[in-house]
């Protein structure tokens, strides 16, 4: 141990859950918790939402500027050319337990993708970037294949000429989505594309920081996103809406949840001290979808719940709350919700992995040991 690194660090308070700890620098996104603002590479989320497509935003996250028209055309072409499922991967996916968690499927799929890549352990930045672009293009294909296989259906290949979001819906449903559905999912992808050092991104950076490979970093990120306090909150939020069932049942549900000391999924945030800026945007999209679907119930339940939880507990909604009704309205099965989060966030994970690789230092915090000391070893034949 070096002299400059005492263990335990005498004057350092332990910040449980690393709350408030600045663990590194990034120029990819800024999560301003006090002012409830989110910025991607200099652009506020309000500036991009409804104007930029996921294709443009993923390019922005990767290359630090909005694409010119020709750059965007090339980027779209490149993503399009990479939307092909490896037959080896598909064969392995077909062997997985059909009803297992969709995020477990995705985690396995990316791991296999890595093993099928002859350049898996190549560290050169341009190789990492190549893998990242391929994974951004492929993830919705894999998620759609998972959705089809879990439902016992045949996998559908991507269709040329459709946007990233529209292609996912096409591959999942077997028919082209309406413009409104594709635009809604595109908005969702844009709003969830990156978010500072959230748990899954930090996991990815930590893994890459050991000089492990790109795929391992993404597999780790998927594992982190799978948790209900992070990405699976969108699935849990939908399950909550389904359990409530009607706007009239919101108040009794809130009372029950408070009595049982359970959490309201899609509420609360570690960083934002007010409403998550993404939530407002998603609410508008969900409302619109509810109106045109002819079944505004899921939006109405959500809106009533937002009010009731605020009155009861002064909790703000987070990004996952209106994601639930939005994803439901575009016809995505609840079990697939968290894979949608991964389809969006993979651009952010990739940008962070590349940023980490460009200026790497092993991520290795300290722990304050609070266990026993100075115990004496007792040979096995003298123990009970």
Site residues for ligand CMC per CB under 6 A:
17, 198, 229-231, 233, 263-270, 315, 318-320
Distance CA 363, CA 133 (A): 25
Quickly tell me which residue has 């609840």 as its tokens.
334
**65 assigned to active site:** no
Distance CA 317, CA 280 (A): 9
**CB 142 → ligand CMC: shortest distance, Å?**
20
In the complex, which residue's CB is closest to ligand CMC? 268
Q: Which two tokens stand for residue 249?
A: 């049942």
Closer residue to ligand CMC in complex, CB, 75/272: 272
CA 280-282-283 angle, 5° bins: 65
**CB 365 → ligand CMC: shortest distance, Å?**
18
For residues 293-303, one letter each, b for 16 or more C-beta atoms within 10 angstroms of the residue's C-beta and e for the rest, the string is: beebebbbbbb
Task: Show the DSSP H helices in the chain as ranges.
Answer: 45-48, 54-63, 69-81, 87-93, 102-116, 125-150, 164-173, 179-191, 199-209, 214-225, 233-244, 250-259, 277-293, 297-313, 319-329, 337-358
Q: In what order do the strands lie in the sheet with 43-44?
A: 29-32, 37-40, 43-44
Closer residue to ligand CMC in complex, CB, 214/337: 337
Q: Which of 269, 276, 328, 352 is catalytic?
A: 269
**30 assigned to active site:** no
Q: How far is CA 307 from CA 36, 83, 123, 247, 303, in A?
A: 19, 42, 50, 12, 6
**CB 264 → ligand CMC: shortest distance, Å?**
4
3-state secondary structure of 336: helix
**CB 293 → ligand CMC: shortest distance, Å?**
24
**CB 258 → ligand CMC: shortest distance, Å?**
8
Distance CA 203, CA 360 (A): 14
Q: Which of 230, 320, 328, 352 is catalytic?
A: 320
**CB 88 → ligand CMC: shortest distance, Å?**
32
Closer residue to ligand CMC in complex, CB, 166/192: 192
Give the pairing type, strands 37-40 and 43-44. antiparallel
Q: Which residues are catalytic?
A: 269, 320
């Amino acid at each position: 141990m070096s002299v400059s690194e005492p263990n335990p660090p005498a004057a350092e308070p332990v910040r449980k859950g690393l709350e408030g700890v600045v663990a590194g620098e990034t120029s990819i996104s800024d999560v301003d918790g006090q002012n409830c603002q989110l910025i991607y590479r200099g652009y506020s989320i309000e500036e991009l939402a409804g104007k930029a497509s996921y294709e443009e935003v993923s390019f922005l996250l990767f290359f630090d500027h909005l694409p010119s028209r020709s750059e965007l055309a090339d980027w779209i072409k490149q993503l399009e050319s990479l939307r092909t499922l490896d037959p080896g991967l598909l064969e392995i996916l077909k062997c997985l337990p059909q009803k297992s968690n969709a995020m477990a499927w995705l985690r396995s799929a990316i791991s296999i993708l890595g093993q099928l890549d002859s350049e898996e352990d190549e560290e050169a930045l341009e190789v990492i970037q190549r893998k990242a672009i391929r994974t951004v293009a492929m993830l919705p294909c894999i998620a759609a294949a998972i959705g089809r296989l879990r439902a016992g259906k045949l996998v559908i290949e991507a269709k040329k000429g459709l946007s990233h979001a529209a292609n996912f819906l096409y591959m999942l449903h077997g028919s082209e989505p309406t413009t409104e559905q594709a635009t809604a999912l595109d908005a969702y992808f844009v709003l969830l594309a990156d978010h500072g050092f959230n748990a899954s991104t930090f996991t990815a950076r930590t893994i890459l920081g050991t000089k492990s490979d790109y795929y391992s970093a993404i597999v780790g990120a998927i594992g982190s996103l799978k948790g209900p306090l992070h990405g699976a909150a969108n699935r849990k939020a939908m399950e909550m809406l389904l359990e409530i069932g009607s706007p009239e049942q919101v108040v009794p549900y809130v009372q029950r949840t408070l009595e049982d000391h359970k959490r309201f999924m899609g509420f609360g945030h570690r960083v934002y001290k007010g409403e998550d800026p993404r939530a407002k945007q998603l609410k508008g999209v969900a409302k619109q979808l509810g109106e045109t679907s002819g079944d505004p119930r899921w939006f109405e339940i959500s809106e009533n719940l937002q009010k009731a939880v605020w009155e009861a507990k002064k909790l703000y909604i987070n990004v996952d709350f209106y994601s639930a009704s939005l994803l439901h309205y575009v016809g995505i099965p609840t079990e697939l919700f968290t894979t949608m989060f991964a389809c969006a966030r993979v651009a952010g994970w990739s940008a962070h992995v590349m940023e980490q690789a460009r200026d790497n230092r092993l991520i290795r915090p300290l722990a304050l040991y609070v266990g026993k000391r100075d115990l004496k070893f007792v040979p096995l034949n003298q123990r009970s």
